[in-house]
Structure 1
Amino acid sequence: MVMRGVRTDDGWYVKATPSGEPYPLESRLEPVFRAAGVTTLNGALQYGADRHGNKSCMATRQLLGRERVEKEGRTLEKLELGEYTWKTYVEVAETTQKVGVGIRLRGVKPFDRVVIFAETRAEWLMAALGCLQHRITVATLYTTLSDVGIAHGINETEVSFIFTSYDLLPRITRILPQCPKVKTVVVMEDQLEGVGAAPSFPPGVTLVPFQDLVKPDPRDASVDIPKPEADDVAILMYTSGSTGTPKGVELSHTNILTSVVGYSVQMNIGPEDRYLSFLPLAHIMELATELALISLGAAIFYSSPLTLTSTSPKVKKGSEGDARVAKPTVMNAVPLVLDRILKGVSQKVEQQGWIKSFIFNEAVRFKFWLEYIPFTSYFMSTFIFSRVQEELGGHLKRLVVGGAPLSPQTHDAMRAIFDVSIQVGYGSTETASSITGMDEDDIVSGHTGGPNLGVFMRLEDWEEGNYRVTDKPNPRGEIIVSGPVVAKGYFKLPEETKAAFFEENGRKLFRTGDIGEINSLGCLKIIDRKKDLVKLKHGEYVSLGNTESKLKTLSNVDNICVFADSTKDKTVAVVVPSADRLWKVASSVGIDQGTLTIEELCTDERIKQAILRELQSHGKKCGLNRWEVPAAVYLTLEPWTPDTGLVTAALKLRRKQLSHHYEHSVHDMYSRLD
């Protein structure tokens, strides 16, 4: 029997060998790190540079031109893109060293803090590692936080030094008057505009282009380089604020390096692999992944959600998306991105007519079983799925998915269409992204794998939700984590630290707030979250997150938020429908295209009822109970993006903000049901 996790005598689940024994605490990286004396993140970079030297390390896409057009009162930007240009491992290490010396010459001292507020790019990671080399803590802020959230992070960390990028310079300029301690702003340049026009900074604040920061200086040799310690706070990572004001999580080198080592066990990655980076580096999953890839010798191609594919919103007609050019073999993703990719595929296939659509959908449905017939899998990949696979480069071998639960429907469909290994993982900022992860050979969907290397996991009863470790057939309860991945705590928040982190028998433990179930193979399934669980009028429990993850797989739905009032016996939902498919729904209820605007379609009762019937039917197919499926819907075309404040940078719903924003619509739906 293949085991993923095994229970120890003292009640903890740990990573298991195929024979069911605890996995030895070593990996491809752990022994070599130990031999090379690698105990910090900078040590991991130096190990990669020493071993892989002049091999390609970080690639940035050439920006050849920019076109701005006005459409419906909005300014849209289209980019003409060229090839990727490279920095080798040695060049990355050298630039990193120059960053560290450059900030020291500008007054930053060991044990100070700096803020990085920039989109994912090569300079982001080099800036962070340059600071860490001098025992300077890096505070990371999501670029999609509100101005209030950004100012909060800058002021709470009391930094005098900020890294930002050309495109975010206007926001920093706007915020600086609220941040009196800031003295220096380093700007990562735009390829065409440089740092742009001189901003109107407050007196005493200096702008430094990134390229100037890393220029040789006669004083370079005078800068002493302290030796970082494994227990230093390396990254002060601010959360995306899904439950309110962003909290800073204090992560040590050991925390993150343990996650890096665990990654080397879960993923068969090597120097021949190409990784496409487009998720925020201010998210711990992306940061830990890239550090692991550098240690393993892989090449990192930097991208953006706005230029990822040829149909991405910023790609100018005639230019190819980043994935087609980079031809990645591995990518990270969040479930919402995969849902959108699948919906885009579905729409394109439907446009080719019902016969091709039928063949394609049946091939997806039965591909897993047909793979056992000789040459069938090759035939389907070559003649049915190849054109779709080309949109992600045509060489993708594995996808790592985290950030939120992935529905089995999306998991199975992505695996069938793109012919990739999909490894779902589970973690949090407070555990350096590492709790559990699927093995590459695991083909069963609906779980997040067994414990990662170096992680100790157990369940605790949650009586309020009726989850107990004695439940049959599988134990259920709140997930508790221990081991070297557990963070130091929350920055300047002693009460919140005390509530989430605690000591037991010399171990440091973290309460995740998530409810899990562990199956007979030692694999974890996330079944609930304390803050997402609502008890309805007659005692039925509804897991809002679980319900939404399943309903979101309906092709007519772009996004959905389910609301549950504990004084009622039903749920309702606010739905962002797929604008392109809304006309198809209209046609199905007898509304001719052109008779109503798309906004009017969202308020038409016939459309609402049609969408509601689809949701109820789809929910039933997904195994939801009748009280979990919404009894009424409100349709809106308002985008739920981090910019609107309704979702986090990791695209998780911000329930508090959504509840306030749609308060009247939810009240109206319940009034109609009474």
Structure 2
Amino acid sequence: MALHKKAQSTSGRPEGPYRAVEALDGLAHIAFEGKDTLDKLFDHAVQRFGKAPCLGTRDVLSEETETQPNGKVFKKLILGQYHWMSYEEVSQAASRFACGLAALGQQPKRTIAIFCETRAEWMISAQACFKHNFPMVTLYATLGEDAVAYGLNECEATHLITSVELMETKLKNILSKVPALTNVIYVDKKDVSVDGYPESLVIQSMQSVMDLGGKPENLNMEVERPVPSDLAIVMYTSGSTGAPKGVMIAHSNVISGMAGQCQRIPGLGPQDTYIGYLPLAHVLELTAEISCITHGCRVGYSSPQTLSDQSTKIKKGTKGDCTALQPTLMAAVPEVIDRLYKNVMSRVQEMNYVQRTLFKLGYDYKLEQLKLGSDTPICNTLLFKKVKALLGGGVRMMLCGGAPLSPSSQHFMNVCFCCPVLQGYGLTESCGAGTITEASDYTTKRVGAPLICCEIKLRDWAEGGYTSEDRPNPRGEIMVGGPNVTMGYYKNEQLNEDFLVDAAGQRWFCTGDIGEIHPDGSLQVVDRKKDLVKLQAGEYVSLGKVESVLKCCPLIDNICVYASSDQSYVICFVVPNKKQLEALAIKSGIEGELSDLCGHPKMEEEVLKAIKEVATTSKLQKFEIPAKVCLSSEPWTPETGLITDAFKLKRKELRQHYMSAIERMYGAK
């Protein structure tokens, strides 16, 4: 498929800056009919789509507990249909909540914290804060207690919006460490016991605050509306290293970033339904939802545990959220897509020979047709209809970000789910905006051209061996510049060195990621500065590159590659795929529970053999291939503190967690 020019260097030099061809005349600062703050943007949507459905939630009809063979108890849910709040109802709820918060003493331009799961009340709270110019501090629901206390103390918020579950499981334990907190508002529609909480802390429901705000004297109070340069959000990143960092995001930053993102999503409008299940405290999910609401889409809420009929919290035989909602749009991180890929491919392996052969022939044929720019309606109906139904059957487009997506997973989504996967690159510091591939681009490993709101340029990193003189394409540290680049880190001058302002007054962020610009102007992320380790003999190993290659191994659900600069070889920790490992154990004549298999030296040998096969096929250098492996029977989740909420590895925490295994694999005493 011939590739047309998507971006070009405005300086004529290989390092850039590169700009999308649609934006060669200038970057898009505002592209929403002059609506230059988030409150104006939402008011405009309410005027246009008033009585149309806006935010949807499913009722919990019943809860059951299910005991697994290993003794673990799982909570299973039976959920009803989605019920919807219209745009007007969401606007009224947000106005009353904002007025209620003001009546409780919340001041404009003073931070207010939200520590809550993704749900309709989260978005209503956000719109309330935007209306009254309360800068909203976002904290991931899965952050550890110390990180939550750190964020609350740094932002000095007096008011906190949360859920009953988080109050009971995390907040209660840290209240003595956050003396500035005076008001806690819980979003659930149920009564809560205040036993065990300090008497000085005012605890009340969101509904009671809305009732307070609905009183005439409060509803008609004078409101200080924000201006574009005002602080809208302090977004705490869960951070793969050290304490969480608060990124300061202005109203103008969010609107510029969204202008860029929306331009790459054709046909966005009231006919679309978006499923929201990623953390709203993550910039990808927040900007995706606000973009959808701006264009009149419905947003139905879900969670990773209730997404599909097979999800862990859905009772067998009942509907998951995708089946009930039938979304047309969704955002995902590679971890979610990789899971879907492995789930479907393991089912394909269980088919009989004829079925398996037919599936493979259809898969390969469709992949070739897609690369030529054609579709295959007959294959879609006969072979892929059931697979497509896993996500409701109606997904027309998916946006993937947060980490590189493997070519096999991307091809799988294009073929089996019959929808383009737009790969994006952006950071919290660039308001989630940077690059996005076009729907018609089926090439892999690339993240597209710069969005119309920003520019991309490369900075030489000679130490790592990346320069603009590299062949066949220029390479270097990726720098993002434009009106979407945020205001810096909250109360952290030292880290603000990563933000630069050029002679023209444009802000830039130095990402620490290494990129390569292709001849058509598309970006490929090839490395990360922090992931590069020099071995004893002087060879550089890119840990992230090795991990992305080895994740294709069917035996691996998750992997962390580790290297010490005083050693001559690489090692790795692996969370194995339970089904695949058990099948391998039977084949090897080994019996036992998953924990027994993971601790068995013979199983380590077999997994290492499979890893080496994938590594050799993928043409990894000999020094990049792990020489030893440690298997983990416990999955890595944000709750364990070993990965972030965006499913990125926390290398420091993983190193500490597996220190004894590292010493064993490196032969230390």
Question: Which digits, 9 at most, give the CA deviation of each residue in 1:279-332, with x for residues without a partner?
Answer: 000001111111111111111111000100111111112321100111111100
Question: Which digits, 9 at most, give the CA deviation of each residue in 1:415-458, with x for residues without a partner?
Answer: 11111111000010000001111111111111000101111110
Range with greater deviation from structure 2 (367-376 or 411-420): 367-376
2:97–2:128 Cα contact (<8 Å) kept: yes
Partner of 1:669: 665
For 1:199 and 1:445, how far apart are their aligned partners in 2?
A: 55
1:14–1:453 Cα contact (<8 Å) kept: no
Alignment pair present for 1:273 and 2:268: no
Q: Secondary structure at the match of 1:576?
A: strand
Q: Which amino acid aligns with 2:326?
A: K
Partner of 2:10: 8
Q: Secondary structure at the match of 1:664?
A: helix
1:14–1:22 Cα contact (<8 Å) kept: no
1:16–1:23 Cα contact (<8 Å) kept: no
Partner of 1:412: 411
Question: What is the CA-CA distance between 1:74 and the residue it aligns to?
Answer: 4.2
Matches within 5 A, 1:109-120: 109-120=107-118
Identity of aligned residues (%): 36
For 2:390 and 2:285, how far apart are their aligned partners in 1?
A: 22
Distance 1:373 1:496, change over 3 A: closer
Partner of 2:59: 62
Partner of 1:151: 149
Partner of 2:33: 33
Partner of 1:649: 645
Partner of 1:569: 568
For residue 42 of structure 2, the aligned residue among 42, 45, 48 is: 45
Question: Which digits, 9 at most, give the CA deviation of each residue in 1:465-492, with x for residues without a partner?
Answer: 0110111111100011211111111111
Q: Which amino acid aligns with 1:576?
A: V
Q: Which amino acid aligns with 1:628?
A: E
Partner of 1:206: 202
Partner of 1:137: 135
Runs of at least 5 residues in structure 1 that lack an aligned partner in the other structure: none
1:104–1:223 Cα contact (<8 Å) kept: no
For residue 128 of structure 1, the aligned residue among 104, 126, 140 is: 126
Distance 1:343 1:487, change over 3 A: same
Question: What is the CA-CA distance between 1:375 and the residue it aligns to?
Answer: 10
Question: What is the CA-CA distance between 1:663 and the residue it aligns to?
Answer: 1.4
User: TM-score, normalised to structure 1's length?
Assistant: 0.94
For residue 600 of structure 2, the aligned residue among 596, 600, 604 is: 604
Q: Secondary structure at the match of 2:64?
A: strand
Matches within 5 A, 1:515-526: 515-526=514-525
For 2:402 and 2:8, how far apart are their aligned partners in 1?
A: 24
1:44–1:291 Cα contact (<8 Å) kept: no
Alignment pair present for 1:85 and 2:98: no
For 2:514 and 2:345, how far apart are their aligned partners in 1?
A: 33
CA RMSD across the alignment: 2.0
Distance 1:9 1:219, change over 3 A: same
For 2:388 and 2:468, how far apart are their aligned partners in 1?
A: 43
Q: Which amino acid aligns with 1:252?
A: A
For 2:235 and 2:390, how far apart are their aligned partners in 1?
A: 33
Range with greater deviation from structure 2 (537-546 or 65-74): 65-74
Q: Secondary structure at the match of 1:656?
A: helix
Question: What is the CA-CA distance between 1:668 and the residue it aligns to?
Answer: 1.3
Distance 1:386 1:435, change over 3 A: same
Range with greater deviation from structure 2 (602-611 or 141-150): 602-611
Distance 1:221 1:379, change over 3 A: closer
Q: Which amino acid aligns with 1:480?
A: M
Alignment pair present for 1:625 and 2:624: no
Alignment pair present for 1:501 and 2:503: no
Partner of 1:17: 21
For 1:83 and 1:345, how far apart are their aligned partners in 2?
A: 26
Question: Which digits, 9 at most, give the CA deviation of each residue in 1:596-631, with x for residues without a partner?
Answer: 332222222322222111111112223322221211
Partner of 2:101: 103
Matches within 5 A, 1:538-549: 538-549=537-548
For 1:372 and 1:514, how far apart are their aligned partners in 2?
A: 29
Partner of 1:470: 469
Question: What is the CA-CA distance between 1:255 and the residue it aligns to?
Answer: 0.7
Question: Which digits, 9 at most, give the CA deviation of each residue in 1:220-251, with x for residues without a partner?
Answer: 24521112010111000001121110010000
Number of equivalent positions? 659
Question: What is the CA-CA distance between 1:567 and the residue it aligns to?
Answer: 2.3
Runs of at least 5 residues in structure 2 that lack an aligned partner in the other structure: none
1:2–1:521 Cα contact (<8 Å) kept: yes
For 2:382 and 2:306, how far apart are their aligned partners in 1?
A: 27
Q: Which amino acid aligns with 2:8?
A: V
1:250–1:487 Cα contact (<8 Å) kept: yes
For 1:484 and 1:31, how far apart are their aligned partners in 2?
A: 12
Distance 1:666 1:289, change over 3 A: same
Partner of 2:632: 636
For 1:618 and 1:10, how far apart are their aligned partners in 2?
A: 40
Question: What is the CA-CA distance between 1:13 and the residue it aligns to?
Answer: 3.4
Range with greater deviation from structure 2 (353-362 or 164-173): 353-362
Q: Secondary structure at the match of 1:169?
A: helix
For 2:652 and 2:32, how far apart are their aligned partners in 1?
A: 46
Distance 1:177 1:31, change over 3 A: closer
1:312–1:321 Cα contact (<8 Å) kept: yes
For 1:24 and 1:325, how far apart are their aligned partners in 2?
A: 43
Question: What is the CA-CA distance between 1:73 and the residue it aligns to?
Answer: 5.3
For 1:375 and 1:533, how far apart are their aligned partners in 2?
A: 40
For residue 250 of structure 2, the aligned residue among 249, 252, 257 is: 252
Question: What is the CA-CA distance between 1:199 and the residue it aligns to?
Answer: 4.4
1:450–1:523 Cα contact (<8 Å) kept: yes
Distance 1:547 1:366, change over 3 A: farther
1:105–1:223 Cα contact (<8 Å) kept: no
Distance 1:463 1:370, change over 3 A: closer
Q: Which amino acid aligns with 1:615?
A: I
Q: Which amino acid aligns with 1:659?
A: R
Matches within 5 A, 1:388-403: 388-403=387-402
Q: Which amino acid aligns with 1:13?
A: P
Question: What is the CA-CA distance between 1:502 and the residue it aligns to?
Answer: 2.0
Distance 1:195 1:366, change over 3 A: farther
Distance 1:346 1:154, change over 3 A: same
2:18–2:457 Cα contact (<8 Å) kept: no
For residue 239 of structure 2, the aligned residue among 238, 241, 257 is: 241
Matches within 5 A, 1:295-444: 295-370=294-369, 377-444=376-443
For 1:539 and 1:89, how far apart are their aligned partners in 2?
A: 60
For 2:20 and 2:501, how far apart are their aligned partners in 1?
A: 25
Q: Secondary structure at the match of 1:567?
A: coil
Question: Which digits, 9 at most, give the CA deviation of each residue in 1:66-92, with x for residues without a partner?
Answer: 123455554421111010000111111
For 1:392 and 1:670, how far apart are their aligned partners in 2?
A: 44
For 1:375 and 1:480, how far apart are their aligned partners in 2?
A: 36
For 1:32 and 1:92, how far apart are their aligned partners in 2?
A: 20
Question: Which digits, 9 at most, give the CA deviation of each residue in 1:39-58, with x for residues without a partner?
Answer: 11111111111111111111
Question: What is the CA-CA distance between 1:26 and the residue it aligns to?
Answer: 5.3
Q: Secondary structure at the match of 2:338?
A: helix
Partner of 1:532: 531
Distance 1:374 1:249, change over 3 A: closer
Question: What is the CA-CA distance between 1:25 and the residue it aligns to?
Answer: 4.5
Alignment pair present for 1:164 and 2:162: yes
User: TM-score, normalised to structure 2's length?
Assistant: 0.95
